[in-house]
Amino acid sequence: MNIQAAKKHQVGLIFGKFYPLHCGHIYLIEKAVSQVDELHVILGCEHDRDLKLFEESHMPKQPHVQDRFNWLQDTFQGRHNIHIHILDEAGISYYPNGWKDWSDRVKSILQKQQVTPTVIFTSEPQDVQNHQQYFGCDVKLIDANREFINISATKIRQAPYQNWPFIAKAARPFFVKKIAIVGGDIDKLPIQLANIYNTQYVSNGYINYIYHRRADNKQLALSETDFIRIAMLHAQRIDEALITANQVLFTSPDFSTLHRYYQSAFKRKNATLTELENRYPFDLVIDQAEFKQKESNVAIFETALKKVDAQLY
């Protein structure tokens, strides 16, 4: 008989909050999936606990369950034997006081999906015995000392920007701080800052649009449609740049400023621009017009650097 065929179908389980997803988690999942036929990753969430962890953190905004789920899905996209499930832990005593209720809820999810685990993977030695007791399957401990990738989600929550290299690629856009430089020579300072911070600069769609129109020899006054086109192009470029941005992203203008230009031209608000303003909140807008005329270029440069640095605590 074929030895491979005789082997039992191995089904692995991994539990986590992935708050946020980091390279240590990914290492655990990759090492586990290399030992089983299918792997089920259970993403645990609980509203009050998650909110408290956020409030005690230095994360700039709270990742919600859907964000955490998307990070896992994106990271393991196309990996057909890795399945992600959300487990709402509401009403269960917090770890480590609710093992019975918690494991019952896990089992009910698994039953619905017709999943029978054969092995649980964890890097937490203190959980091995309870996993064995409540799930009745093998437990494999992986890198309990976190020697291969020495990071924890707690450390990242405390200092996301200092621990940037460990944040999963899929989760980084969530943490990128968006900074707009408006007023004055808008293509100079953001380029300098992007160079210094080794990151992306999203060039000014408005300027490109005007140049394009000039080349076409058409009239230059912007219509309402022009504004929307500029805004949509800008949003698309920002989305693309966020994927590879290093902690911060520089651009000009932000959508509130663009909307203000629109309002002064057309004396009313625009629903699309309002939507973009809400969808792309900026962490910092540096208005060069606020600097005093007599301020030297170097003083402006230094003030801008201080403001940017303060964003990356």
Ligand X SMILES: NC(=O)c1ccc[n+]([C@@H]2O[C@H](COP(=O)([O-])OP(=O)(O)OC[C@H]3O[C@@H](n4cnc5c(N)ncnc54)[C@H](O)[C@@H]3O)[C@@H](O)[C@H]2O)c1
Cis amide bond preceding 253, omega within 30: yes
Q: Does the footprint of ligand X cover residue 175 (CB under 6 A)?
A: no
Sign of CA dihedral 109, 115, 120, 121: negative
Considering the complex, state which of residue 135 and residue 255 has its C-beta at the smaller distance from ligand X.
135
Tell me, letter by letter, the H, E, C secondary structure of 25-67: HHHHHHHHHCCCCEEEEEEEECHHHHHHHHHCCCCCCCCCHHH
Q: Applying CB under 6 A, which of residues 11, 12, 13, 25 lies at the interface with ligand X?
A: 25
Considering the complex, state which of residue 27 and residue 164 has its C-beta at the smaller distance from ligand X.
27
Q: Does the footprint of ligand X cover residue 67 (CB under 6 A)?
A: no
| Residue whose tokens read 């408005």 | 206
In angstroms, give the least distance from the CB of 123 to ligand X. 3
Residues 263-292 that bind ligand X (CB under 6 A): none
d(CA 193, CA 188): 9
d(CA 30, CA 79): 11
Q: Applying CB under 6 A, which of residues 92, 110, 119, 230 lies at the interface with ligand X?
A: 92
Q: Applying CB under 6 A, which of residues 24, 117, 190, 205 lies at the interface with ligand X?
A: 24
For the chain, what percentages of helix, strand and coil (3-state, to nearest 5) are there? 50, 15, 35
Size of site (CB under 6 A) for ligand X: 28
Considering the complex, state which of residue 119 and residue 231 has its C-beta at the smaller distance from ligand X.
119
Q: Applying CB under 6 A, which of residues 30, 70, 88, 98 lies at the interface with ligand X?
A: 98
How many H-runs (helices) and E-runs (strands) does the chain carry? 14, 9
Q: Applying CB under 6 A, which of residues 143, 224, 226, 283 lies at the interface with ligand X?
A: 143
Interacting residue ranges for ligand X, rule: CB under 6 A: 15-18, 24-25, 27-28, 44, 89, 92-99, 102, 122-124, 143, 146, 149, 151-153
